[in-house]
Amino acid sequence: MTRRRRFADSGQAFPIYITVVGGLLFLAFAYLAVGQAAANRNGAQTAADAAALAAAQERRDQLSGAWVENLLDPEKWQDIFDGLADGLTPTCWRAEELAASNDATVLSCNADGLLSYTVEVQTNKTVGDSIVPGTETKKSRATATAVIEPRCGFELLPEGEEADEAEKLPTLNCKGGIDWELDPKAPQDLLPNPEDLFDVHLAD
């Protein structure tokens, strides 16, 4: 009787064991699907961040070049620091380059005003096959905004002093307590670099 009872108990436990193992396998595959989706979303966000920063940095470099070109005309400096300058060209091509290098495609790239870019991208790869229906064709999207901020301020020279000392330029007072005493006759490589004049960062 004892042996038969043990066999009966074993027979009853086997279906429970199969059910538990099946449930654990389902949970494992579910976690795998969640991980795949999260990795795909993270890839999309990385691509969006890089693309937005690239577009903004290209604009920063253009503004810096415009400032150098107008070095002897301080009346134009503030417009340049505000994002206004002659000869500026579209910069979203840089966003497309950086998105492509992160295996994504730019869906939209917009200048929000003069000193900000918002980029939306979509991953080229899908989430992949999983127990969740539809993931084999699902691609992730993400959006990022990059901002350009002037790092420096200045005060125009009084008109009389400017007339008497035509070669003297205003001092650039920049973040970090850095002051640039500008010499109009100095070589260009001694002038502030783009990163000295403007910060580029992702919006909060």
In order along its 204 residues, the chain shows pLDDT tens digits of 555 555 455 556 556 656 665 555 555 545 455 556 566 688 899 999 999 999 999 999 999 999 999 999 999 999 999 999 999 999 999 999 999 999 999 999 999 999 999 999 999 988 655 545 555 678 889 999 999 999 999 999 776 555 444 468 999 999 999 999 998 887 877 899 999 999 999 997
**87 within 8 A of 145, measured Cβ to Cβ:** no
What are the CA-CA distances from residue 102 to residues 46, 63, 140 (Å)? 8, 27, 13
Residue 50: strand, helix, or coil: helix
pLDDT tens-digit series, residues 51-99: 999 999 999 999 999 999 999 999 999 999 999 999 999 999 999 999 9
Indicate the domain borders of the chain. 2-202
Arithmetic mean of pLDDT over the chain: 83
The whole-number pLDDT of residue 72 equals: 92
The whole-number pLDDT of residue 131 equals: 47
With 0-12 / 13-18 / 19 or more C-beta atoms within 10 angstroms meaning exposed / middle / buried, residue 74 is middle
Q: Which residues contact 180 (CB under 8 A, 6 or more apart)?
A: 152, 171, 172, 174, 192, 196
Q: How would you classify residue 116: left for phi > 0, otherwise alpha for psi between -120 and 50, otherwise beta?
A: beta
CA geometry: angle 201, 105, 144, nearest 5 deg: 25
**43 within 8 A of 108, measured Cβ to Cβ:** no
